[in-house]
Chain A
Amino acid sequence: MDILQAVVELLKVAATDLPDDVEQALASALSKETGALPRSALSATLENICAARKDARPICQDTGVPIFFVTAARGTSYEGMADVLSEAVRIATRVVPLRPNAVDSLTGKNSGDGVGPGVPVIYFKEWQQHYHIIDLLMKGGGSENVGATYKLPDPAMGAQRDVDGVRRAVLDAVFRAQGRGCPPYIIGVGVAGTKDDAAVLSKRQLLRRLGDKSEVNGVSRFENEVLSEINSLGIGPAGLSGNTTALAVKMAVHARHPATFFVDVAFGCWAHRRRRMRFGDGKAEYE
């Protein structure tokens, strides 16, 4: 198999088949809901996941913006990789099919093939190994639109420049999102000294498996406590009330400038199209 074919397959798997940890978390959420509305929303969600897998059709019609996080084999050129990824998006848009989602921001013209300036989004680094790891997020517009960046301190939220301030920013973002981004959400939090770094960091947290634990001191405790606070807001599946507003909170923290403190909150919708491919020696493995 060549890498182009392998990436087309990665896009197809991501769009049509939800990762097992997310599906399990949704099934477990259903068992914790008692209200008719949240139960009905989660049942439709689970039924939809099965329908998509069975028919090999996209789980959600918004197949999103493909965001590739590439860890490239030693000696790989960025340009070559970027060409492969863009071409794979064009092919997948035709054959899966994906929705052509690249629109000229000023004229509104849809390119028709899913590719445009800056789309797909590619983050690229090289490492010493002889194989590639390509992580893919297909990020829907609904959940992207409810994401938010905060600059601390923020007097209105009572948020100072500390871990409690981060907590307040996350709770505020979820409250403002209500049900507009397709809850239950997966919440990524990035804390950093520049707003671009905070934004990429929060996005990267959406690649983590729901059950993984941060090794960084205190972060895991923060994630668990804030998750339970988010779920006490009662927004619920589809925003129609209930106990499950988020499935996970995932945070990472970088150093900051003494004067700056950015908190970026990224939302993944329940249809969390996250897949990883390891590609080497003409063989692809997906997880």
Chain B
Amino acid sequence: MSKAIALTAPLSLDQVRSLAAGDEVRLSGIVVTARDAAHRYLVERDDSDGMPFDLGDGVIYHCGPIMRRVGARWEAVSAGPTTSDRMEIYEPRVIDRYRVRAILGKGGMGPATVEALKVSGAVYLAAASGAGALLARKIVSIKRVWKLEDFGEPEAMWELEVRDFPAIVAMDTRGGNLYAEVERRSAEALATLRGKRFGG
């Protein structure tokens, strides 16, 4: 792994296409959180409902943060990634409809998302699993929140400005996929273990 690549969101198609699975990145700029309820909403909503941000060329972060009100502002207390694969049933439609350039999450996604990343030109970035305290320190400001009343704090869409947020390109625009490689090798190891018996 070479030195981390600096990225600033919104991201250009060319920039995203130049990334390869295994690259380490530091992301700055705007990201918008969306998890289970928000993904369903993004697929089903009407274009004219007043959603206050444009996700085009943007980054969606699979995250249900802990936020705290400090006077009139919000502050991120703990904000690491949630498991991405629950969003698999919506993600290809979200990528296609909004032309997002990056999904930031953990644990990887399934074949439909791999295909959508290729077709639209987008990447999947793995953020440090469970590192909520550390990653909250990379959030420099909270721009706004949408659907807080309807969805509750974890599921609302939070528009965040991040600086030097660390991540790894885990799935790229050409089908490169770190998780698929790990799964293939672990399946071989499992087959070997199934050939043995305990105590045998």
Contact = CB atoms under 8 A, between A and B. Distances in A.
Residue of A59, A103, A183, A240 with most chain B CB atoms under a 10 A cut-off:
A240
B52 interface: no
A61 B78 contact: yes
A164 interface: yes
Contacts of B200: 164
Contact of B178 (A37, A55, A140): A37
Contacts of A167: 198
B47 interface: no
Contacts of B22: 37
A37 B169 CA distance: 11
Interface in B149-191: 151-155, 166, 168, 170, 178-179, 181-183, 185-187, 189-190
A182 B182 contact: no
A163 B198 contact: yes
Nearest to A226: B198
Nearest to B187: A175
Main secondary structure on chain B at its contact with chain A?
mixed
Contacts of A52: 78, 132-134
A108 B190 CA distance: 38
B79 interface: yes
Given A51-B134, A51-B137, A59 B154 contact: no
B91 to A, nearest CB: 15
B58 interface: no
Interface string A128-169: 000000000000111001000000000001100001100110
A239 B66 contact: no
B178 A240 contact: yes
Q: How large is the interface on B (under 10, 10 to 19, 20 to 34, 35 or more residues)?
A: 35 or more
A108 B107 CA distance: 24
A183 B151 CA distance: 29
Interface in A26-80: 36-37, 40-41, 44-45, 47-48, 51-52, 55, 57-63
B104 to A, nearest CB: 14
A145 to B, nearest CB: 7
A120 interface: no
A150 to B, nearest CB: 14
A269 interface: yes
Interface stretch (B11-19, B94-102, B113-121, B122-130): B122-130
B66 A63 contact: yes
Interface stretch (A1-9, A202-210, A228-236, A253-261): A228-236
A171 B190 contact: yes
B133 A180 contact: no
Contacts of B136: 57, 61
A238 interface: yes
Interface string B72-107: 000001111011011000000000000000000011
Interface in A94-122: 97-101, 103, 108-110, 112
Contact of B155 (A110, A142, A237): A110
A52 B135 CA distance: 10
A273 to B, nearest CB: 10
Contacts of B37: 108
Given A37-B178, A97-B77, A142-B82, 17 more contacts: A45-B129, A47-B131, A48-B80, A48-B128, A51-B133, A57-B132, A59-B78, A60-B80, A60-B132, A60-B133, A61-B77, A62-B80, A178-B182, A179-B108, A222-B198, A232-B189, A269-B130
21 contacts: A37-B22, A40-B1, A44-B134, A45-B130, A45-B131, A47-B131, A48-B131, A58-B77, A61-B79, A61-B136, A62-B132, A112-B153, A142-B82, A179-B108, A180-B83, A182-B129, A183-B129, A232-B193, A233-B186, A237-B129, A238-B126
